[in-house]
Amino acid sequence: MDIFVQQLINGLVLGSVYALVALGYTMVYGILELINFAHGEVTMIGAMVALSVISALVGNGVALPGVVIALLGLLAAIPACMALGFTIERLAYRPLRNAPRLAPLITAIGVSIVLQNLAMLIWGRQYISFPPILPQGRHQLLGASITDVQIVILVTSVMLMLVLTLLVKRTRLGRAMRATAQSPQIAGLMGVNANTVISLTFVMGSALAAVAGVMVSAYYGLAHYYMGFLLGLKAFSAAVLGGIGNLAGAMFGGLLLGVIESLGAGYIGDFTGGFLGSNYQDVFAFFVLILVLVFRPSGLLGERVGERA
Amino acid sequence: MPRSKRQVWLTFIALGVMLALLPFVVDFGLGRSWLRIMDLALLYVMLALGLNIVVGYAGLLDLGYVAFYAVGAYCYALLASPQFGLHLPFWAVLPIGAAVAGLFGVLLGTPTLRLRGDYLAIVTLGFGEIIRIFLNNLNAPVNITNGPQGINQIDPVSLLGMSLGKTHQLFGISLSAPHQYYYLFLLLTLLVVFISMRLQDSRIGRAWAAIREDEVAAEAMGINVRNIKLLAFAMGATFGGLAGGLFAGFQGFISPESFNLMESVMILCMIVLGGMGNIPGVILGALLLTVLPEALRYTGDLQRAWLGHVVVDPSDLRMLLFGMALILVMLFRPAGLLPSRQRKRELVAEGDVAVQEQASVYDARR
């Protein structure tokens, strides 16, 4: 039972990070029907920028509490990623709005390769460690332990998700986004500037990605130029799992994927009598994804989507 | 455009002579390593043509194609290496690999028949990752794939009692291993090209085009959508398995590293970049994307010539340039370098209709 609660907590924390990244995928997909393959790399860049700032501050002996330093790193990462998201959309996707469907997919892959290798040139191939500046407290919860960092990640993610939901449901911009997702042409007739809305969607998704990147590097204590790839893959899976284009779906899918993964990794050894070990963790995520899609092809919370040409 | 039959034949002969002499020219002019790159390029042409059947002809977006390549390669490696002490002959191993890969194609195809577009893409992607993770971990408690270390000392391809791993004298010409593999791969590539060409205009090819354009209408016209989709998956996978087996024999060593998602993505890029559904385009894309990253290694010399010294390690730079090249080509030729004639016709004649259609699809979606 202790293991169960512990893995559940770990899963929820991990899942909330997946959910934040998944939101970026799903928002872009909702409006453009484009898999923004470079989104995972935006997350990675966010982590790298934050780590550079944090390391620089720590290295220069700036006498501030660890939490403040981490926040400063985050504050540097967010605008950097927003600018990056904006630029990617402007240069790589906007010119291909009316091109064959696979063309933007290939540019997305190109952008992802470019960002990965740029990061490698700037930060090198080695793992970069997150300085131990954050409080390391542990708390007991139902026989399991939860760390301060985990609590912060969970609370921040849930708050950001709430803010985003309110923004999309209640504000003018949110209404414009939903209208553009329905039909860019008609939204345009109603006075919505589709290009602005799309740019803002990218910017918002990238800001969330920055936060997720910083959190995941704080959680594992590491960052790496390659980290965005698998994270992006999992987040995209989460978005599809929940029903792509659907905000609540992305959040739910992210949390579910995280929990499944943690529980899977925790119990797979017991289930198979030690034949399969926790190194099959990633198989679990993909296997569940395939199962769900086979039985509910539009994702768990997705509505039935008509056939696209 | 050759007009008479005579000219067609002359073109063919000239092309044949050129392809036959190419390895010697490359070996002499650029060196042995480039000859090996050409061998790999031919393997990628086979792979790309295989994926082209699934994506280009049948319109099923497959991001896990490399799984079949892996299955073919591992079949070959397990049946012809000291791993299990089995050394079955090449002519038994290669078809087994291709057939098992084909079976995996059906295995992937069956549960995903209802999916299309991006959902299909993500499921195939997951499938590819699952295969790779299994290959990576099936070394304990029973060692099957030797885990991340991969399988070593795979038997080289052996034809007519002559092992392609060694240098042979033939008609007074010395043929090294890469030369011999070149000719073998060339022959098989030509076979794959021939099959692809014949398929395109066959009943099956037309059925694929029909389900690609409109699945519901195709079904209404009496096409058995399920079987025809499965056939596309199976045929694509078989070609993938074939290339995989050849890769294992050629390389002598395989590990799960060679079969990651980026490889699938690369093969997809080849066919989209070259021009989907169009055989010359697919071949061009495959050749370009294999040769380009290698050619970009020479940026080190360029840096030395222009800047006096190497500022950035060329091996670090080449993927960056490669990514940029992908973006630029797509921005300027979104339909690929050599778009398929049929699709081009559709695009030119109905340019405005296409835009309208897209708009109405946007509306109908929700």
| CATH assignment of the domain containing A174 | 1.10.3470
- Is residue B134 a contact partner of residue A276, using CB atoms and an 8 Å limit? no
User: For chains A and B, what is the number of CB pairs under 8 angstroms?
Assistant: 157
Q: B116–A114: do the CB atoms touch at under 8 Å?
A: no
Establish if A164 belongs to a structural domain.
Answer: yes
Amino acid B19 reads L
Q: Which residues of chain B have pLDDT under 50?
A: 346-352, 356, 363-366
Locate the domains of chain B by residue range. 1-30, 33-285+333-364
Task: Please report residues of A whose CB lies closer than 8 A to that of B122.
Answer: 236-237, 240, 289, 293
Establish if A195 belongs to a structural domain.
Answer: yes
Q: What is the pLDDT of residue B347?
A: 46
Q: A183–B330: do the CB atoms touch at under 8 Å?
A: no
pLDDT band at residue A275 under the 50/70/90 scheme: low
Question: Testing the interface with B: which of A29, A290, A300, A304 to mutate, by most B Cβ within 10 A?
Answer: A290
Percent of chain A with pLDDT over 90: 35
Model pTM greater than 0.90? no
Q: A96–B316: do the CB atoms touch at under 8 Å?
A: no
Establish if A282 belongs to a structural domain.
Answer: yes
Of B123, B265, B357, which has the smallest distance from its Cβ to A293's Cβ? Answer: B123
Establish if A150 belongs to a structural domain.
Answer: yes
Question: What's the mean pLDDT in A59-83?
Answer: 89
| Closest chain A residue to the Cα of B210, Cα to Cα | A309
* Of A235-239, A280-284, B340-344, B359-363, highest mean pLDDT: A235-239
Task: Give the gap in angstroms from C-alpha A197 to the nearest C-alpha of chain B.
Answer: 16
Question: What's the mean pLDDT in A200-214?
Answer: 94
What residues are paired with B87 via a beta bridge?
A: B80
Establish if A301 belongs to a structural domain.
Answer: no
> Residue A309 pLDDT > 90, yes or no?
no
Q: Which domain holds residue A44?
A: 1-295
Task: Please report residues of A whose CB lies closer than 8 A to that of B108.
Answer: none
Task: Please report residues of A whose CB lies closer than 8 A to that of B130.
Answer: 283, 286-287, 290
* Interfacial A residues in 124-183 facing B (CB < 8 Å): 181-183
The CA dihedral of B168, B174, B180, B183, to the nearest 10 degrees, is: -140
Q: What is the pLDDT of residue A306?
A: 44
Q: What is the pLDDT of residue B337?
A: 82
Sign of CA dihedral A12, A18, A23, A29: negative
Task: Please report residues of B whose CB lies closer than 8 A to that of A233.
Answer: 125, 129, 261
Query: CB-based contacts of B353: which residues, under 8 Å, 6+ apart?
Result: none
Looking at chain B, list the stretches that DSSP marks H as alpha helix, in order from N- to C-terminal side.
Answer: 5-29, 32-51, 66-79, 90-109, 117-137, 177-200, 203-213, 215-220, 225-251, 261-274, 279-295, 299-307, 314-332, 341-349, 351-365
Q: What is the pLDDT of residue B341?
A: 66
> Residue A230 pLDDT > 90, yes or no?
no
Number of domains chain A contains: 1
The tens digit of pLDDT for each residue in B286-307 reads 998 888 888 877 777 777 777 7
Q: B112–A294: do the CB atoms touch at under 8 Å?
A: yes
Q: B312–A121: do the CB atoms touch at under 8 Å?
A: yes
Question: What's the mean pLDDT in A253-271?
Answer: 83
For the domain with range B33-285+333-364, which CATH number is right: 1.25.40, 1.20.950, 1.10.3470, 2.160.20? Answer: 1.10.3470
Q: What is the pLDDT of residue B351?
A: 46
Q: B126–A286: do the CB atoms touch at under 8 Å?
A: yes
Report the C-alpha gap between A185 and A187 in whole angstroms. Answer: 5
Of A109, A118, A286, which has the smallest distance from its Cβ to B130's Cβ? Answer: A286
> Residue A50 pLDDT > 80, yes or no?
yes
> Residue A283 pLDDT > 70, yes or no?
yes
Establish if A308 belongs to a structural domain.
Answer: no
Establish if A304 belongs to a structural domain.
Answer: no
A118 in contact with B at a CB cutoff of 8 Å?
Answer: yes
Of B269, B276, B363, which has the smallest distance from its Cβ to A109's Cβ? Answer: B269
